[in-house]
Amino acid sequence: MAEQKDLLIELGTEELPPKALPTLSAAFTRGVVEGLKEKGLSFGEVRSFASPRRLGVLVSSLDTHQADKEVARRGPALQAAFDDDGRPTRAAEGFARSCGVSVDDLERVETEKGAWLYFRSVQQGQATSALVPEIVESSLAGLPIPKRMRWGAGEEQFVRPVHWLVLLFGDEVIPATILGAEAGRETRGHRFHHPDPLTLDAPADYAGLLEREGHVVADFARRREIIREQVEKTAAELGGRALIDDALLDEVTALVEWPVALAGGFEEKFLEVPHETLITTMQDNQKYFAVFDENGRLLPHFITIANIESRNPAVVIEGNERVIRPRFADAVFFWEQDQKQKLADRLESLKSILFQQKLGTLYDKSQRVRTLAAHIAAAIGADVAKAERAAELAKCDLMTDMVGEFPKLQGIAGRYYAEIDGEAPEVAAALDEQYMPRHAGDALPATSTGKVLALADKFDTLVGIFGIGQKPTGAKDPFALRRAALGVLRIIIEGKLPLDLRDLYEKAAALLGDRIDEADAVESCLDYTLERLKAYYQEQGVEVDVIDAVLAQKPTAPLDFDRRVRAVSAFRKLEQAESLAAANKRIGNILKKVEQPLPEEVGEALLVEPAEQALHAQLRELRGEVTALFEAGDYEPALMKLAGLREAVDRFFDDVMVMAEDAALQRNRLALLNQLRGLFLRVADLSRLQY
């Protein structure tokens, strides 16, 4: 067995961008792993390390050498390698020279395609220590860094200046200079607690030595969990529970190497403003965790994570309290000032704010959304007047000081101000719900008016942006159209709303009129939205082939699409499903080859084989019943009934020649198959099911 050693790679830097740290760490580790695999090296467990000042990878049980590899090169055919007297030709001599041997040293190999000259040699495997620097450099070069920086007098570029490099393989340092840093065995501890170097004797000592002596928890996941536990414990000591947002937890974890939770407080008078304002300030601006009581009310406390174990934590807490107080005071001021003008009185000011240059102002958008909301409300039996009022007020809070200072409060601020203005509770709620779902897995609008407004706003945005030729690309989606399309689908499907996408896109496009110039805007929006269903159903564990089978029929009502998916998923599990899916594929292939229009009527007099008579009789018996089920949207029971055709279909293909020489018989059999396939296609293209 080949000798193996542990490998430690650590790049020490100035503080890395906190929001990018998890991505950088994962990409760096992935690059190292792929590089080792590419070199044919085997290894054991791989651990990632990431903190504000370091990216690290620990590879256990890594081969110290590549395995030797036999190399075979084929030369000219024997016929071309030797002349009639058996002397080597120029081709043979040239091949031998290129291999560094004489013609006599080459092998003669007989194959099915003839006899050839061959050269075989053994390529010695390289030492792993010679390969690692290139692998590390390649991985670092491939990191997703949008903008690199230079430092000092050198030409090296990285996301932050590099100060040290560890390349420790077993107990030996791999000599290399990467990004201006010379490899060694010395890491660095905490910037303040232990700024001096720490010497590593072995890679496996890394995490323990840093934590024990360096005051650094290098493992990102472990540090994250420590912070979570500290925050929860501190909140409990305050008599509450902490609001722990995953994104905030990740960011705070990326900001500290030695986390210490500290509790601070603020005056209760600040609790008079909407709690969302205070929470936004705490989370976005200060990276604090908010605390709630058992009834869900915000407490006048916060928890901050220090990156140092202070001798006098009270001073640190006081500093944090001093910083947050002016921000809260600003929020109180904005809150009081905004209430001096009603939300509805801000509608005219929307005329001065562009939504998009070609699509007009926010006022224009509000008027379009108002008309579309009325149409949707009527279609689902919601209150049309409330829908129109909510649409009028929907964007008015964008003109408030509160949203100007705290953009994340759009909709939320509108809800509060609408309540103060005496608007109907459902109208006020809709102003917040129009932006739902705000992210993957987020809650959907709870009120009918909220659902209507959210849909109308999203349909207008989607068809408008597609209509001016700015559909999203793989990397760019400035108008969040992916989220909007998925939101449309979730609201309709999970809200069980009887709405059709084509109808609503056409109405939205008509309201935009000549503002849009893409002739296929509606069709593009429709395809784009339906495509989002793949991810939606895959997250629920639905098989991809089931989704594709339904997508092939392009049903444009999402609720109808959902019923079809559920039906095909249930059908797929039946014993008869595989045979019928194969039969549908076979029928599709047969009908595809027919050049003239497919016949629809079956002549009973032309049914001469018992198998085709039996299939026709069963089809005739089932057609009326399953057609009624299809029209009612009861796809699952309809497919269950069609599953009973399995034996008749199998027998038909065993006993009947579809493409008979008699043209009349042939067309009659094609008509029978066309009818059969037509029934299944009322749900999905079952030929796409994979077994």
Total residues found in the chain within this entry: 691
Last residue of a domain, one of 316, 338, 360: 338
Give residue-wise pLDDT tens across range 72-90.
Answer: 888 888 888 888 888 889 9
Kindly state whether residues 466 and 395 are assigned to the same domain.
Answer: yes
Q: Is residue 547 part of a domain?
A: no
Look at residue 395 and give its three-state secondary structure. coil
Q: Which range has highest mean pLDDT (50-59, 474-483, 646-655)?
A: 50-59
Give this prediction's pTM: 0.80
Mean pLDDT, residues 651-670 taken together? 87
The parent domain of residue 649 ranges over 568-688
Kindly state whether residues 95 and 146 are assigned to the same domain.
Answer: no
Give residue-wise pLDDT tens across range 517-565.
Answer: 888 999 999 999 999 999 999 999 999 999 999 999 999 999 999 999 9
Kindly state whether residues 446 and 532 are assigned to the same domain.
Answer: yes
Give the pLDDT band of residue 2 (cuts 50, 70, 90).
Answer: low
What are φ and ψ of residue 260, in 5° steps? -135, 115
Q: Is residue 552 part of a domain?
A: no
Q: Is residue 235 part of a domain?
A: yes
Which pLDDT value is given to residue 584? 85
Kindly state whether residues 186 and 255 are assigned to the same domain.
Answer: no
Last residue of a domain, one of 310, 338, 366: 338
Kindly state whether residues 440 and 524 are assigned to the same domain.
Answer: yes
The closest of 461, 432, 459, 456 to 444, measured between CA atoms, is 432
Rounded distance between C-alpha atoms, residue 505 and residue 380, angstroms: 16
Kindly state whether residues 461 and 520 are assigned to the same domain.
Answer: yes
CATH number for the domain harbouring residue 610: 1.10.730.10
* % of the chain at pLDDT higher than 70: 100
Kindly state whether residues 134 and 9 are assigned to the same domain.
Answer: yes
Average pLDDT of the chain to the nearest whole number: 93
Rounded distance between C-alpha atoms, residue 359 and residue 380, angstroms: 28
Q: Is residue 479 part of a domain?
A: yes
Give the pLDDT band of residue 474 (cuts 50, 70, 90).
Answer: confident
pLDDT over 60 at 1, yes or no: no
Mean pLDDT, residues 211-215 taken together? 96
Look at residue 590 and give its three-state secondary structure. helix
CATH number for the domain harbouring residue 464: 1.10.3210
Kindly state whether residues 471 and 400 are assigned to the same domain.
Answer: yes
Q: Is residue 61 part of a domain?
A: yes
Last residue of a domain, one of 275, 305, 338: 338
Mean pLDDT, residues 170-187 taken together? 96
Give the pLDDT band of residue 568 (cuts 50, 70, 90).
Answer: very high
Number of domains in the chain: 5
Kindly state whether residues 87 and 118 are assigned to the same domain.
Answer: yes
CATH number for the domain harbouring residue 49: 3.30.70.260
Q: Is residue 423 part of a domain?
A: yes
Q: Is residue 528 part of a domain?
A: yes
Which pLDDT value is given to residue 150? 93
Q: Is residue 550 part of a domain?
A: no
Name residue 65's beta-bridge partners: 127
Residue 411 · residue 274 · CB < 8 Å: no
SS (H, E, C) 148-193: CEECCCCCCEECCCEEEEEEEECCEECCCEECCEEEECEEECCCCC
pLDDT over 60 at 3, yes or no: yes
Identify the weakest region by mean pLDDT among 191-205, 357-371, 390-404, 574-588.
574-588
| Residue 419 CB neighbours (<10 A) | 16
Give residue-wise pLDDT tens across range 335-391.
Answer: 999 999 999 999 999 999 999 999 999 999 999 999 999 999 999 999 999 999 999
Residue 167 · residue 158 · CB < 8 Å: no
Kindly state whether residues 510 and 362 are assigned to the same domain.
Answer: yes
Kindly state whether residues 574 and 666 are assigned to the same domain.
Answer: yes
Name residue 298's beta-bridge partners: 292
Burial of 555 (0-12, 13-18, 19+ CB in 10 A): buried
Kindly state whether residues 608 and 648 are assigned to the same domain.
Answer: yes
